[in-house]
Structure 1
């Protein structure tokens, strides 16, 4: 089932499967979200929960048992319930179940709220620990933005002039190898060789937003003040770019298998609630 929210400036469409944003259009009917062509990548904007990235051996240990959890977790492959809706906002929810407890032994609720406000779409994540134990989790966004025409006509502008160290992936895990993204006037021109080793993974950065420019003209901006980490990714020759605010990232080869010791993990106390929000601003 698809849900549409709208205001004077924008229209957003969300699929109840995965509570996935699948369209964001302005009043000129310009589409900002990737179409999801499976020849390149068959998704639009999946929600990453209860992990971001890949666990070492796709597993973790808890309370004397080994659990297997696939890359990016299971939320993106679940049917969400629409629990609140008005013209410009919609909230979707999933809860832990017998099936989720087999791979992630923690009781939770996850709410995703999409809200249009003028020329921005905000996406709020709310994680509720419904159990009696502390709950380790990661959560992240994976929106893919459509970039038509020549990929090298586009540039990313970071909010701040900074030295941007990113970590390279090896077999989907974070390696010790790093590179530095060289900025000129806070910008870097996009090119596919940037992504020859998969995503650019920034564990930390000072900027709270990035702007996509086409031929030096700003098109849209992603604000992620709440989020400590960021991934940027595309596939070779694909006409999209993913800008991914994260709480957490893939394991390293040195990971112990204990989720509570995992780098970048969030720990939520019994009956506590976690909230975070990012937004997409059309310029």
Structure 2
């Protein structure tokens, strides 16, 4: 099932499975979101919850019991309920259940709120701790932006000129190796070799927005002032780029254990709410 929202400039479509954005078009019918062709990657823009990335051995401990969570968590595969719909906005909800508690023994509600205003799509994440104990989680975005034509015609302009050190992944886990990106001023020219070792992972990145350019012409901006961490990824020869604002990331290769002690994890007190926002702006 798909819900459509629109204004005079943009139209967005969201799948109820995963509350996943699957289309964002302007009024010239230009598509900005990857079409989900499984030859490269069968997703469009999944939400990552209650973990971002991979746990070592896909396992963690809580109160002397062992639990298993697959890469990026389960929310992206679950059916959300549409709880509010306006012409230009939609709110989706996922509530904990016996099924989720087998993997993640906490009481929560996750809401995704999509709102179109002028040339921007605002995406809000709300996590409600509905239990009596603390709620440990990570959450992140994974939007894939369509890049037709020659991949090397595109570049990413970071908001700030800064040393951009990123962590290499090793079997999906954060390795102890970092590299520094070579920028042209604050611009990264894209090529597939950058992603030979999977995603580029930035912890506590200073730049809070990235602009995508084609042949030096800007056409889309991702703003994520609330989010401390970032991933950038594409698989081999794929015609898209993922710009992924995160709270948290994979386990390190030499760390394993308690979810509360996981690097980058958020801890929400009982009966409180977490709220974060990022936006996609058409330029």
Q: Structures share a fold, TM > 0.5?
A: yes
Counterpart residue number, 2:117: 117
| Number of residue pairs aligned between Structure 1 and Structure 2 | 283
Counterpart residue number, 1:276: 276
Shift of 1:256: 3.3
Does residue 140 (structure 1) correspond to residue 136 (structure 2)? The answer is no
| Cα deviation code 1:224-270 (max 9, x no counterpart) | 00000000000111000000000000001222311111000000000
**Could you say what secondary structure the match of 1:25 adopts?**
strand
Counterpart residue number, 2:169: 169
Q: For 1:167-246, what aligned pairs fall within 5 Å after superposition?
A: 167-246=167-246
- Structure 2: stretches of 5+ with no match in the other structure: none
**Could you say what secondary structure the match of 2:76 adopts?**
helix
**Could you say what secondary structure the match of 1:99 adopts?**
helix
Q: TM-score, normalised by structure 1?
A: 0.99
CA distance in 2, matches of 1:255, 1:271: 30
| Superposition RMSD in Å | 0.5
CA distance in 1, matches of 2:254, 2:262: 10
Counterpart residue number, 2:60: 60
CA distance in 2, matches of 1:188, 1:87: 37
- Structure 1: stretches of 5+ with no match in the other structure: none
Q: TM-score, normalised by structure 2?
A: 0.99
Indicate if the aligned counterparts of 2:170 and 2:253 stay in contact, CA closer than 8 A: no
Indicate if the aligned counterparts of 2:120 and 2:279 stay in contact, CA closer than 8 A: yes
